[in-house]
Amino acid sequence: MPFIMDAWYVAAWPREVSGETPLARTICGEPMVLFRDEAGDAVALEDRCCHREMPLSKGWMEQGTVRCGYHGLRFDGTGKCVEIPGQPNIPPRARVRSYPVVEQHGWIWVWPGVAERADPADIPEMFAPNDHPDWSSSGGTTYVRCNYLLISDNLLDLTHENYIHRTSLGNQAVVEHPITVEGGDDWVKVQRLIPDHEPAPFWKAALMNAKGAADDVRCDRWQVIHYRPPANLALEVGVAPAGTGGLDGDRSQGVEGRNLNVITPETEKTCWYFWALARNFSREPEMDQPFADRVAQIFEEDRAAVEAVQVVMDRNPGRPVIDINADGGHIRARRIVDRLVAAQDRTAQAAE
């Protein structure tokens, strides 16, 4: 399936992009090189010198510019060549493509499509907890060998928790309580409310440590999944002692998290999975790494599952599968992606 090019994708964490070493990353099949200019702003260029097509990521940084490691041409953050060794004049055509870049909500976002259509206001506000004073957040990146939409499917159907994550998040109550699904032209919301149950190990430990809950605490649990295309998902998740109002919106007695996910396609069968867990409990800085490590372990289980699915799909491309009730969210999301890709194709055909 073609990618949605006119969209914002996370390219990197801010700590990955520096003015000292260029970073290579492929997004939607577009090889890019990321670095910081003299002002410290993140920039992204096509990873290709316009002279003999050496990847610029194989070069090095000089005063906020990147120098090609083949014949020494040097490019600034706009993609303009600013130096050709041994040649005083620089042809106007000596430049490479630059991509719109925004540093927001704790990530660096890149727009691989038509630059004039890039609007930072389109970056989903639901990711604000990743870099907000009311939340503590920690996360990481998982490289996954599957089509990026398989991860989106996974996150929109959390019934898999009871099987893939049976020793951490799994709980039979998840399967027994139905979901509700809402959607619009560019959004999907999937919700599951689970009253008065024995909490899963992860949430029980969180509630005991943060709120001093008893070992035999009964809980109300909520899962609210917000989707925006191409593959942006924020999950409101948490538990509160049963009957304290958590399912009605008063979560003050519980522990609450925002599982933030951006899946950025690299190729048709590989992707970068950027994730974070923002939390309003156990906010001590020394807790950041333990939470990141725990979530990373959980996501490794997801990675193994979706990569296995991709292998089976590759054996018999296009083979039909069935849908079940729990698939309502990802079916709606897939329809949104299909519609946006079709509109993109019509626009491209009209321009020819």
Return the CATH number of the domain spanning residue range 126-342: 3.90.380.10
Q: Which residues contact residue 68 at a Cβ distance below 8 angstroms, ignoring those fewer than 6 apart?
A: 49, 51, 54, 56, 58, 59, 74, 75
How sure is the predictor about 84, in pLDDT bands with cuts at 50, 70 and 90?
very high
Q: Residue 8 — φ and ψ, nearest 5°?
A: -90, 135
The yes-or-no verdict on residue 157 having pLDDT over 90 is no
Q: What residue ranges of the chain are covered by domains with CATH 2.102.10.10?
A: 17-99
> What are the helix (H) ranges across 242-315?
288-315
CATH architecture of 17-99: 3-layer Sandwich (2.102)
Q: What residue type is 126 in one-letter code?
A: M
Confidence (pTM): 0.93
Beta strands in 38-176 (DSSP E): 42-46, 60-62, 65-67, 74-75, 81-83, 98-99, 101-104, 107-110, 136-144
Q: What is the pLDDT of residues 86-99, one digit of tens each?
A: 999 999 999 999 99
Q: What is the pLDDT of residues 29-44, one digit of tens each?
A: 999 999 999 999 999 9
Beta strands in 37-169 (DSSP E): 42-46, 60-62, 65-67, 74-75, 81-83, 98-99, 101-104, 107-110, 136-144
d(CA 187, CA 262): 15
d(CA 153, CA 156): 5
Sheet of 255-267, strand order: 136-144, 270-279, 255-267, 232-241, 219-228, 188-197, 180-183
Q: What is the pLDDT of residues 261-287, one digit of tens each?
A: 999 999 999 999 999 999 999 999 999
In eight-state DSSP terms, residue 203 is H
83, 63 in Cβ contact below 8 A? no
245, 253 in Cβ contact below 8 A? yes
Q: What residue ranges of the chain are covered by domains with CATH 3.90.380.10?
A: 126-342
